[in-house]
Amino acid sequence: MGFPLTKTANTPPTAIADPVEYGGLKANLKKGGWTFMGLVRLTGIVFSSIPLIALQSVMVRVSKRRWWHFAGLWHRTMSRFLGLEVRLSGLDHQSTATLYAANHISWVDILVLGGHLPNASFIAKSEVAGWGILGSLCALHKTEFVNRGRRSDSARQRDYLAERIKSGHSLILFPEGTNTSGMRLAPFKSSLFSVAEHVAAHLDEPIRVQPITLAYTEVNGMPLVRSQKPRVAWLGDVELFAHLQQLLSHGKIVATVEFHDPITLEDANCRKELARYCEHQIGIGLERAHRGEFRHGPRDRVGVAGIDDTTK
């Protein structure tokens, strides 16, 4: 997971590059100022976050079980202000702790998944903890910051992750190790699944690993085509605040989230096969999302701005 204030140290502080290019994908992002709708939404984000973050900061310290109710509420509230309609397919809440593996497109993924996976925290690189207010917000969601460069910390960190799983907490992993345009997957890093190996050695029963496909498929009721992916995907050298400004100017964005059949390390035999299974399932789901199957087909569950609605 990652969303620094700027993508590179050389990013110009005043404007978005035009056009934005990332992995061969080009698109023009407008440079203008704030729209009225964007300002209204930003005001709502600021004033609603003050009490919610205050409650969340207390609950994350005093309650091991109920902290997520406030953390998830904040994510769903932010999704509502961003105009996100979250459509869930195949979600089956389990009492068993799960390691979720999802593809990574944008910082918006954090809001989408963080608001719908109970008692689940993200696994992020240690640098994220030092990203000012963003690092603090991640800490409030009990994000596990992993230092991948120091072997001396690896065993201690894996032990702590195993304890989190044993105590009933789920974890969310982005095995690509970076964010993409959302058109195709980056190769999964099997080393990131080492946590599954270590946790499995500390549990009496196999740990569930569940792949998740995340795709942004519509903007204002129209399919989100390839050239428009940067409206949601966080690409190139675009600054976070500039990307937020663009995002708040859209009326409604549809995020489709497909949960695939879970697997265990024993089923996969090794972490490389585990990574290969997750990459294959998520890739298939991404193709379905691009074909618009979630737009016209039946939906298992629908969440509007993070609120489940089974009456539609």
Top mean pLDDT of 76-80, 149-153, 226-230 is at 76-80
The burial class, CB within 10 Å (0-12 / 13-18 / 19+), for 39 is middle
The burial class, CB within 10 Å (0-12 / 13-18 / 19+), for 82 is buried
Longest CA–CA span in the chain (Å) reads 57
Task: Read off the pLDDT of residues 35-70 as tens digits, 9 standing for 90 and up.
Answer: 888 899 999 999 999 999 888 888 888 877 778 888
Residue in the block written with tokens 């204030």: 5
Task: Give me the mean pLDDT over the 96-122 stretch.
Answer: 91
What the chain holds in terms of domains, given with CATH numbers, is 28-309 (3.40.1130)
Which pLDDT does position 87 carry in this prediction? 93
User: Please, how many CA atoms are within 13 Å of residue 294, restricted to the half-sphere of its CB?
Assistant: 30
Q: b vs e for 232-258, b when ≥16 Cβ sit within 10 Å of the residue's Cβ?
A: bbbbbbbbbebbbbbbbbbeebbbbbb
Cα separation, 120 vs 169, whole angstroms: 6
DSSP-derived 3-state class of residue 94: coil
Which H or E run includes 125? strand 120-125
DSSP-derived 3-state class of residue 292: coil
